[in-house]
Amino acid sequence: MFAQLKEKTVWTAIVRLGVFFFVFLGLEYLFDNLMAAVTDSTGVVRAQSYVLGVSAMGFLAYGMLPERIRNAGHRRYRVLLEGAAGVLCTVSIMIICLHKNYSVLLLSGCLLFFMLGMTGSAVHMDMALQKQAGKGLAVPAGIAYALGICLQFLDHRFLKDKVTETAVFVIAAVGLLFFMKGRYTCGKMKICRLLRKKS
C-alpha cells in the first residue's frame, strides 16, 4: 500500500485533495465570520447548514454531468465549464466579502459552495481513480487532509490581512478547477467494467 505512494500521479492527486480541503475549510470559516456580522449565532448556524447542504448537492451533481463534459476528448466543454465555475467562484467570494446583507450573503454562499461541492467531487473521483477504484484510499486521503490542515494553520499564522487571505482562497479555488485532469470516464474504472460484465 505504501509503495503505491511513490507514484507521481498519486502525489499529484493528494496535493489537489489537500488544497481542496484547505479552500473548503478556509472559505467556510470566512463565510461564518462574515455572516456573524449581519446576524446572530442562530442565523450563522442556519446559514452554515444551508451552504453545507448545497455543497453536498454540488458533490452529487458533478457525477450527473454528461460524460462528454468530463471526458478529455471533449476539451472545449471542460474548458467552458471550468471557466464558468472559476468566474462564479470568484464573483461569489467577492460578493461575500463586500456585502452586508443576509440574503445576499446567503445566496452567494450557496452558489460558491455548490461550485466547491462539484470541485470536491471531481477531486475525490480523481483520487479514487488514481488508486484504482478503491485500493488503499485511507492513507492518501489522510495525508491529503493533514496537508489541508497544515495549509490552514499556515494561513492563520502568517496571513493576517483579510484581503491577502481572500486572494489566496480565490487563486487556490480557481487553480483547482483548471488543474483537474478531467480524463476519467466510466469505461476506465474497474468497477464499471465489472458491472457491465454482470449485466
User: What's the CA gap between 84 and 177, in Å, rounded?
Assistant: 10
Residue 193 is predicted with a pLDDT of 45
User: What's the CA gap between 140 and 118, in Å, rounded?
Assistant: 20
Instruction: Work out whether the CA dihedral 32, 150, 146, 168 comes out positive or negative.
Output: positive
Q: What string of pLDDT tens digits covers the 199 residues of the chain? A: 444 555 666 778 888 888 899 999 989 988 998 899 898 989 999 999 999 999 999 999 887 876 655 554 456 666 676 677 778 888 888 888 887 889 999 999 999 999 889 888 888 887 777 655 445 677 788 888 899 899 888 887 887 777 887 888 888 887 777 665 544 333 344 434 433 444 4
For the chain, report the end-to-end CA distance as a whole number of angstroms: 31
Map out the domains of the chain with their CATH numbers.
7-198 (1.20.1250.20)
The DSSP annotation for 97-133 comes to HH---HHHHHHHHHHHHHHHHHHHHHHHHHHHHHTTT
Read off the pTM. Answer: 0.76
Q: How far is CA 195 from the centre of its chain?
A: 28
CB-based contact 127:180 (threshold 8 Å): no
Q: Any idea which residue has 489566496 for its cell?
A: 168
Residue 52 is predicted with a pLDDT of 94
The DSSP annotation for 23-71 comes to HHHHHHHHHHHHHHTTS-HHHHHHHHHHHHHHHHHHHHHHHTS-HHHHS
CB-based contact 90:166 (threshold 8 Å): no
Instruction: Work out whether the CA dihedral 139, 144, 147, 148 comes out positive or negative.
Output: negative
Q: At CA 131, angle to CA 114 and CA 55, rounded to 5?
A: 10
Residue 47 is predicted with a pLDDT of 93
